[in-house]
Amino acid sequence: MARPRKPLLSRDRIVEAAGALVDAEGLDAVSTRRLAAALGVSGPSLYNHFRTKDAILDAVADAVSAKVDLSMFDGGKDWRGALYDWAHSYREALADHPNIVPVLARGPGRRPAGLRLADAVFGAMTAAGWPPAHATRIGALMRYFILGSAMASFARGFVDDEAAYDPADYPHLGQAHLLAERQREVDEGAFETGLTALLDGLTVQYEGLRAGAPRM
């Protein structure tokens, strides 16, 4: 039997094509028509694998979550070190695919990789002695911080035009026009500063809990 000229349609091929479209043009660019054209198939054939466009985007989001390293929660690190390494791995995965972050921000829902991620964080925190309620809050807090940092660049929010920041109107923004060209330094530095501050605060709470101090 002769081989088909085109690879057979599969969930993986659809997710790969949809992910490339999201990366290049954003969430609104994804449609069954665009995907079918990119894959060289008819639009209805996509529904044999995904019922809706949202289901496709969920699968793209989960493919990104699957890239996040969770090995630091296997018991080799203390809870703070594990959260630190995980936060960096998570941010690195999102940095390559920022357009899918709004979908990830909805929560894991039924997405397997997203649920494994949430399970790993919660399990590691409770194993370290955090009460379950605190462990839940920590997981939520870390997601807010990491996803927020990946949504957009702070540095690129300023234009490369010194005249836009008249000292008469903005006396403290005289150097703001230089931020865009220092995006990596500014954004990565802000993430590191925020992550350290966040973990420092959690460490204070943890030590208080372990010492029997009133719970916050």
**The one-letter amino acid at 104:** L
Joined together, the tokens standing for residue 90 give 């998570």
Query: For the chain, how many residues are written?
Result: 216
Can you list the residues of the chain whose pLDDT is less than 70? Answer: 1-7, 213-216
HEC profile for the chain? CCCCCCCCCCHHHHHHHHHHHHHHHCHHHCCHHHHHHHHCCCHHHHHHCCCCHHHHHHHHHHHHHCCCCCHHHCCCCCHHHHHHHHHHHHHHHHHCCHHHHHHHCCCCCCCHHHHHHHHHHHHHHHHCCCCHHHHHHHHHHHHHHHHHHHHCCCHHHCCCCHHHCCCCCCCCCCCHHHCHHHHHHHHHHHHHHHHHHHHHHHHHHHHHHHCCCCCC
pTM above 0.75, yes or no: yes
Question: What is the reported pLDDT for 8?
Answer: 78
Question: What is the reported pLDDT for 216?
Answer: 47
Question: What is the reported pLDDT for 210?
Answer: 85
Question: What is the reported pLDDT for 65?
Answer: 96
Question: What is the reported pLDDT for 7?
Answer: 61
Question: What is the reported pLDDT for 25?
Answer: 94
Joined together, the tokens standing for residue 142 give 């870390």
